[in-house]
A and B are shown apart, each in its own frame.
Chain A
Amino acid sequence: DVKVTQSSRYLVKRTGEKVFLECVQDMDHENMFWYRQDPGLGLRLIYFSYDVKMKEKGDIPEGYSVSREKKERFSLILESASTNQTSMYLCASSLSSKNTEAFFGQGTRLTVV
């Protein structure tokens, strides 16, 4: 089974802190995604990556950056956390651009105080 692991299930950070959310997949997938999920807004794409060191902006990249130094790991970085970044963050991966199924991690509930 494909496993997508997010480093933390719950996280509380202070406003202005630099926050790292880590995601690791164990199936040699090419594509990785970061979403945030808020009530009534569904899943909104922040950034995605189709290869090591490659990244593309999604629909809401402002206030975020990403890093993909190794194929299996995709990190989401909040340069200076703000209270409006309090959310559930979901990481996903898929085998390749030809593949249709994305596998999700269990999510990180981030609270910025």
Chain B
Amino acid sequence: GQSLEQPSEVTAVEGAIVQINCTYQTSGFYGLSWYQQHDGGAPTFLSYNALDGLEETGRFSSFLSRSDSYGYLLLQELQMKDSASYFCAVKSGAGSYQLTFGKGTKLSVIP
């Protein structure tokens, strides 16, 4: 089966940088995604890494190391609106694929 581990909660100060880590165990790994979910809202896609290295999208960056089964989401210049839950998700399978999510990290940004 699949399993993903990420911290349950993180608190950071507005304007700072925060890193949310994710380790995974899976077979048939294709890539690692990150999703953001505000309270009461639907998860929305942030990024996807299929290859090792860093992908940057504005204030958000995502990193993957396939050999270590590890990735992280880096949020820079934190804003209050970044307070949300962040989920890593593994795309895996053979032929068809499934998307398996971690339990999520609740990020609280404080003034």
Interface size class of A (residues with CB under 8 A): 20 to 34
**B43 and A43 contacting across the interface, CB-CB below 8 Å:** yes
Q: Is the CB of A100 within 8 A of B91?
A: yes
Q: How far is the CB of B17 from chain A (nearest CB, A)?
A: 24
Q: Does A97 contact B42, Cβ atoms closer than 8 Å?
A: no
Give the size category of B's interface with A: 20 to 34
A100/B43 in contact, CB under 8 A: no
CB of B69 closer than 8 Å to a CB of A: no
Contact: A42 with B104, CB < 8 Å?
Answer: yes
A41–B104 alpha-carbon span in the complex (Å) = 8
- A90 within 8 Å of B (CB atoms): yes
Is A45 within 8 A of B99, CB to CB? yes
Q: How far is the CA of A105 from the CA of B37 in the complex (A)?
A: 12
Query: What is the 8 Å Cβ interface bit string for chain A, positions 14-56, against chain B (1 contact, 0 not)?
Result: 0000000000000000010101000011111100101000101
Distance in Å: Cβ of A73 to nearest Cβ of chain B: 18
**Is the Cβ of A106 less than 8 Å from the Cβ of B42?**
yes
Give Cα A110 to B97, complex, Å: 27
Measured CB to CB, the residues of B under 8 A from A are 1-2, 8, 31, 33, 35, 41-45, 48, 50, 87, 89, 91, 95-104
